[in-house]
Structures are given as C-alpha cells and as structure tokens.
Structure 1
Amino acid sequence: MRIVIAGGHGQIALRLERLLTARGDQAVGLVRRPGQAEDLRAAGARPVVCDLESASVRQIADHLAGAGAVVFAAGAGPRSGAARKETVDRAAAVLLADAAQTAGVRRFLMVSGKGVGDEPPLGTDPVFAAYLRAKEQADADLRSRESLDWTILRPGRLTDDPGTGRVALAESTPPGDVTRDDVAAVLLALLDEPGTAGLTLELTGGDVLVADAVRSAAVG
C-alpha cells in the first residue's frame, strides 16, 4: 500500500516510514526542504518536496493520487510562534484533508495531542495555547468530513526512550508519557484497522500490546 505522510521529516514520521518500508509498503513523505530528502531515503521512504503552507489543493492531491491512506504528522515545531501554529497545525491539516477528498483517498490519520480539545488553563504560555486551539480546530474540521475514514490520535508527552510495544489507547486515558517508537507502531496498526475510523483516541504508555490495544479500540 502507498502511504503519504505530511511532515515526512518529523521524528514520528521517520519512524513510521521505517516500519512501513520494513513490511513492504511504499512510504511517501512530504517535506518542506530538499535538504531533508536524504533522511527520508535512509528510512526507505520516497521524499516529495511540497510546502503545505504554500501549495494548492490540486498540487497536493496530485501527490496523493493512488495512495491507500494519508497521515498528517506535520507541526510548526516548538520554536515557532503563534502565527505558524495557525498556518501549519490548523491550515495545513485542513488543506491536506481537502486534498485527500479531491484525490479520493478515504483513510486519513491525524496526529494530534493529549489535552487538545480542553480549554488551556489560565496562565498557559500564549504560544502553547495557540497550538492547542489550532489543533482542536484542525481535529474538529476532520471530524466534520463524512467522506473521509478518519482517526485522530492524541499522544501524551512524547519521549525518545526505546519503545515498549505496550500502550494505553482509549477515548480517554490517564495523564502519561509515550515513546515516539510506540506512537509510530500504533499509527501502523491503525492503518490496518478500519474499525477505528471515526474515533478520537488518546495514547500513553501502558500494559497492553499495541495490536491488542488497537483491536480493542476498534468499533465493530
């Protein structure tokens, strides 16, 4: 299966690309800068330079043609300001969903974040509050699209510890961390489980094997 990943140079995306390649799928990563391409090739993915802050729906849809699924794993990054939370974390996600609909690709995974959907507490850093609101707006837009088989994944605080292969995955989970390795493994399993379409799932480290956790979360 051909899987297109927006934010293809991100830490979760590169891990997912390695997993897809290892099992024989074709991973395609959309990246902003040509200099990022070699890292994707090293992960076994095909890089495509496409800036989601300037590309049109038609241009992106052309890159999605023939894909079995799309993953939005892009983000403005922790050093960006509030303006780029709007242009990347919200607007680019909406644009990718528009392109998926145009290209006729139904399966769409959104990497969101635990705490998205809650009003930021008083005293929250303004840029982080802008990020939370941008992600919630992007998630809400995706939930409104009946023509997409979407799943929204909201991981807890991300770590670079080695993956354990065991997680907690549900509509609501207690606060907790999760490794980027395990997030990528869950995304891979979600791609194979159509019963998770239409669900918003929180993810933290836990005691349940990834395959079992995704199977338990599935509807039907």
Structure 2
Amino acid sequence: MRIVIAGGHGQIALRLERLLAAHGHEAAGIIRDPAQAEDLRGAGAEPVVLDLESASVEEVAAVLKGADAAVFAAGAGGGSGAARKETVDRGAAVLFADAAERAGVRRHLVVSSMGANPDHRGDEVFDAYLRAKGAADAYVRSKAGLDWTILRPGMLTNDAGTGLVRLAESTGRGSVPRDDVAAVLAELAETPATAGLTLELISGTVPVAEAAKAAAGGR
C-alpha cells in the first residue's frame, strides 16, 4: 500500500511511518519545512514538501494521486494560537479531504481529539482547538466520496506502547501512548470495514488488531 500522511513530521506520523515501512508499505509524509526531510527518510518515508496552509486542492491532489490511503495527522502544535487552530486543524483538514476526494483516494483516516466538537464553548486556545477539530471532523463525515474513519485519542503520552488498547465509539477519558495511536492507525488503514466510524482510543487490554476488528463489528 502507498499511504500519504499530512503532518509527516509529527510525533504520531513519524511513528506511523516507521511502522508502515517495517510492514513493507510505502509511506509519504507531507511537510512544510525542507529541513525535516532527512528525519522522514530515516523513518522510511518519502518526504513531500508542501505547505497545507497555502497549497491549492490541485497541488495536494497531485501528491495523493495513486495512493491507497490518506492520513491527516497534521496539527498547529501546542505553542500556536487560536488562529492557527483554524487554518491548520480545520482548514488543512478540509483541504486534505477535498484533495483526497479529487484524487480518488477513498480510504481516509483522521487523527482528531477526544472532546472535539464544533459547538464546544470556551475562550481558551484549547477550546478553539476542540472547535476546529470538531468542525473538520464534521466536514470529513459529509464527504460521500471518502471511506473515512475518525480516530479520537485520549491524552497522548510518550510512554512505550503496550499494543493493548480500548477502541470504541465511546471509551471514557484516559491516556494512550503515541506508539499505540500509530499502531492503531496502521491497523485501521487495512481495516476498511471501520469506514464511517468515529472511534475513541485509550489504553486498554485488547491487542490492536483485535480491537480494530471488534470496532468494525463484523462488517
């Protein structure tokens, strides 16, 4: 499989790229900063330099053409203000979904956030983040040309992954290592029966492959 990842230098994305390369897949990561290209090559991925805040749908679609799946793992980052939550966490996600549809890449995974809601209230930057993520999720759900799955992890940690998770439409609050988020994304890319689902993810007791299969519900 060829899988294109938006936000290719993110902490989850780099882990995902290593997993995909180890499993014999071809990964490409979209990055804005050319200085990050070597890190992607080290993870076994092809770097593609493109700024999703200024790129056109046509430019992004050209990168996605021929891919088997697209993963939106970009984010404005913890030090950014509310304005960039809007341009990256919402705007870039919308652009990426439009481009995937235009390129004919049906399998579409989104790394969202537990609590994402376009109607979330509050004036803090994190509130703006949850609104932006929620609006992006709602937009992706509206795309009839995509077989989307939205993944909403709980609090992210840098603990070593255990490979044991809880993956369901509602899990309750909890934390999850970024290692395990990446492992779940890799599994979801190969589990098309999870299309049309918004899934929460925290650490649990079920191996990743079994959790993905159970979430698909025998579809």
Q: Same fold (TM over 0.5)?
A: yes
Q: How far off its partner does 1:126 sit?
A: 1.5
Corresponding residue to 1:143 among 141, 144, 148: 141
Corresponding position of 2:5 = 5
Corresponding position of 1:178 = 176
User: 1:68-89: per-residue Cα shift (whole Å, max 9, x none)?
Assistant: 0000000000100000000000
What is the alpha-carbon distance in structure 1 between the residues aligned to residue 140 and residue 151 of structure 2? 12
Corresponding position of 1:211 = 209
Q: How far off its partner does 1:192 sit?
A: 0.7
Q: How far off its partner does 1:125 sit?
A: 5.5
Name the stretch that deviates more: 125-134 or 156-165: 125-134
- Structure 2 gap segments, 5+ residues each: none
Corresponding position of 1:41 = 41
What is the alpha-carbon distance in structure 1 between the residues aligned to residue 151 and residue 117 of structure 2? 12
What is the alpha-carbon distance in structure 1 between the residues aligned to residue 188 and residue 18 of structure 2? 16
Corresponding residue to 1:157 among 132, 143, 155: 155
Q: Quickly say closer, same or farther: Cα 1:135–1:118, change in 2 above 3 A.
A: closer
Q: Which amino acid aligns with 2:52?
A: L
**TM-score normalised over the length of structure 2:** 0.97
- Structure 1 gap segments, 5+ residues each: none
Q: How far off its partner does 1:24 sit?
A: 0.8
1:31-110, aligned counterparts within 5 Å?
31-110=31-110
1:114 is paired with a residue whose SS is coil
What is the alpha-carbon distance in structure 2 between the residues aligned to residue 125 and residue 117 of structure 1? 14
Number of matched pairs: 218
For the aligned residue pairs, the C-alpha RMSD in angstroms reads: 1.1
1:152 is paired with a residue whose SS is strand
2:93 is paired with a residue whose SS is helix
**TM-score normalised over the length of structure 1:** 0.97
User: 1:46-66: per-residue Cα shift (whole Å, max 9, x none)?
Assistant: 000010000000001000011
Q: Which amino acid aligns with 1:93?
A: A
What is the alpha-carbon distance in structure 1 between the residues aligned to residue 66 and residue 119 of structure 2? 38
1:158 is paired with a residue whose SS is strand
What is the alpha-carbon distance in structure 2 between the residues aligned to residue 119 and residue 6 of structure 1? 25
Q: How far off its partner does 1:120 sit?
A: 4.1
Q: How far off its partner does 1:119 sit?
A: 5.1
Runs (4+) of structure 1 exceeding 6 A deviation are none
Tell me if structure 1 keeps the 8 A contact 2:118–2:135. no
Q: How far off its partner does 1:174 sit?
A: 1.7
